[in-house]
Amino acid sequence: MAEALFRKLSKDRPHWGTEEEVRKGWLKHLENELDITFHAERGRNDASYNQVIIEFKDKGLFKGSVKSASFKEAIYDRLAKYIPARAKAEGIPEGEYIGIAIDGDHVCFAFWRTDGIVHRHLLPFNESSVELVAQACRDAKRRAVIAENLVQDFGHSSGVGAALMAALASELGAHLKGTGNNKVRMLFEEWRTLFGQVADLTRAQEEAIRRAVPLAAHLPAKDAVAGLLFVVHTYNAFVMKMLAAEIVSEHGLSAYPDFCEHLLGLEDGDLLQRLNEEIERSAFFEAARIKGFVEEAVFAWYADTSLSTKGRTVIAAAIRSLVTQLALYRMDDLGAARSRDVLKSFYQALVPDPLRKALGEFYTPDWLVDVTCDRAGVTAWLKVRALDPTCGSGSFLLEVIRRKRLEVTCLVKTPPV
């Protein structure tokens, strides 16, 4: 769909000049391709669809710079007024709105934070930026980081998840069927050796796992189940690392206002190389002074230079779809109770129940975490050092951190006399 939308917009784009021509061109094709209807008030420069508000300007008026007067007007004089006004009228939090500024040559996204509006990079008009606008309109609002959304958008039944896992499975199969040694096969064998030490699956369990994973993979028979699980674990690790990178960017700890968004304009080779260096080799996290976040190289094979030309193309395309979806998530609101330990729920949705039972993976329910911490007899959590040697997704550690932060908040509000 993004390719068709980009093609049609590109055909009309040379004829755009005025703000009205830019607006009509974009809205016509967005409405036709997405089967939606925008609300556009006469005499206003904006158009809206649910919680998406687009501000249009004359073609090229931004001059490719966020410092230009027209760009600042679009963001700070227009979107900064439209979003809170709409939020008040509709009774919806400002943070759920997506602001977009378009001048025909560039696209920029803007979002509302507690201290006002903030914008991201100015993106050139290309297929990636067009797809980002289309995705915003599909979502119709910013998505919260909760388990239900992650499973819906990135789980087995999602188009994004199915496409990337299928691409990974196909490339893994090609390497396992190939002759001679290669790095992907080596990493897989290393993982399977470690996996075999903790999981001695029966034939019945293997069949149950195959039925539970809706992934058609042309893998060698002897590697079928292990290969499927290697792909699922690679995918799960990738999603977790991308979520972490987005959160780091959101809190101003990196040079990127949005990590996923900055990946969209990269060619296949550059995209995978950037992911390998910044994510898998942890350069991005170390630059934010987060040490040792990514240490396990076995799941970095998706970005290895030994991938086939076709494999790199298909995997890179699938990754772009995933980061496009993820780039629009709200990373500024993670403290709500509904966002608690979403990684646990996402992992449980990805990894089949028969495998988790075979591995002895039984996640502690949140209510039991609360009861355990309540009965620990701790009167001052700030003085406590906690260790959970088999932490899994870190439910107990997250609760300890939450209680420490709560004590800090209480001390700030009511300082000791």
* pLDDT tens digits for range 206-246: 777 777 777 777 788 788 888 888 999 999 999 999 999 99
How much is the average pLDDT of 66-80?
95
User: Domain extents for the chain?
Assistant: 2-141, 150-338, 364-417
- Would you state the pLDDT for residue 49? 94
CA distance 208 to 228: 13
Helix (H) or strand (E) holding 2: helix 2-12
pLDDT band at 417 (very low <50, low <70, confident <90, very high): low
- The mean pLDDT value of the chain amounts to 87
DSSP-derived letter for residue 302 is: G
pLDDT of residue 337: 42
Give me the pLDDT at residue 292, please: 83
The pLDDT of residue 102 is above 80: yes
Angstrom distance (rounded) from CA 397 to CA 402: 9
Which residue matches tokens 């696209």?
107
In this prediction, residue 358 carries a pLDDT of 66
For residue range 309-328, list pLDDT tens digits in order. 999 999 999 999 999 999 99
Cα-based distances in Å from 97 to 49, 75, 94, 131, 137: 10, 14, 6, 18, 11
CB 106 within 8 Å of CB 125: yes
Between CA 190 and CA 219 the distance in angstroms is 17
Q: Is the per-residue pLDDT at 338 higher than 70?
A: no
Tokens representing 94 are 């400002």
Quote the pLDDT of residue 146. Answer: 87
What's the average model confidence in pLDDT over 158-165?
93
